[in-house]
Structure 1
Amino acid sequence: ALGVPVHRLVRAADSVSVCLSKGLGAPVGSVIVGSKDFIYKAKILRKTLGGGMRQVGILCAAAYVAVRDTVGKLADDHTKAKVLADGLKKIKQFTVDLTSVETNMVFFDIADPHITPDKLCQVLEQRNVLAMPASSKSVRLVTHYQISDSDVQYTLTCIEKAVEEILSGNAKFERLTNGTTTNSYGH
């Protein structure tokens, strides 16, 4: 997102922790980097706190694939988020701070009092677009490596239709996922 190589970002740090499950799509896992002594102490602390696991090879394999196959796609995720934000900015009921879109997350505020984040997310979910209320007036959408350019356009179209349905009174409000929300979307 910053356009700065990782080694430059961390050069003044004694240790670094990298989450593999956020932007990279691994099911679980983090990597910790530091001196040999630091890693030794971290392993002891992990075991003391019950963080050790058995038979984690399958999880390691998934994390390896995430690192190998998705690190290079992060910039694409960020670009798709910017395209999504640009499209949302054109919908008059929303406000979007385009300068805040630097990663794969897009937050937008709803300016119309007839549309709530929860209502919008429920209507979108019926179209297989999953979004998450971020506050009483804002919604969060997240792109990831499995979201295509056409998915972004589909999402924008669904959001426009959802706004029309809510404002016309024709929207049905029901959760398909038993009240849970998610931070990704797709169709």
Structure 2
Amino acid sequence: MNRLLVISIATLLTFAKLASAKDTIEIATFAGGCFWCVESDFENVEGVISAVSGYTGGQMTNPTYRKHGKHIEAVQIRFDPSVVSYTELLEVFWRSIDPTDAGGQFCDRGHSYTTAIFVNSPAQKKSAQTSKAQLQKSKRLPAPVVTPIRDAGHWTDAEDYHQDYYKTHPVRYKFYRFNCGRDSRVKDLWGVEAHRGIRKN
């Protein structure tokens, strides 16, 4: 067979595989308080390709960190469902937040730091509702689960300096996370299940 033809066929097969992989990528959207921390947690979950911090849930066209209206901090997660399922991501999410707190998360108080699951499809909505109902029924937590399940809407990426903050400002990030009491509260709430599915970074 002509060498050039062999190379061309191999190239086409490679592109076909890449296109197929791209078609399987899905998006999950979670709000769990400070988006620096949610982004850091989910980028350390096997099967997650990327996590982007942003604003959603409100009516403003171009929300910012200083002017966000009713938007809340959230993270848009691209994941490979052949490696990690949406249901598994929900389990990671629950065990990395305090789903009983309606006023914010940890040291961050106010609407913009509240939790939410923003579903991107009917299948995600069904999975999220089932997961929340099972958690509530289990009586695993000392208070009712208040995290709402909402339809995903307008999304705005956060400012560049917020993206991968845990990588670009590791010392400041670690000090903030420790000082805010996030990990200690999650550990108190979830015990050995705390941060299940998240690799240590």
| Shared fold per TM-score greater than 0.5 | no
| Higher normalized strand content (fraction of residues) | 2
Q: Normalized against structure 2, the TM-score is what?
A: 0.22
Higher relative contact order (CA 8 A, sep 6+): 2
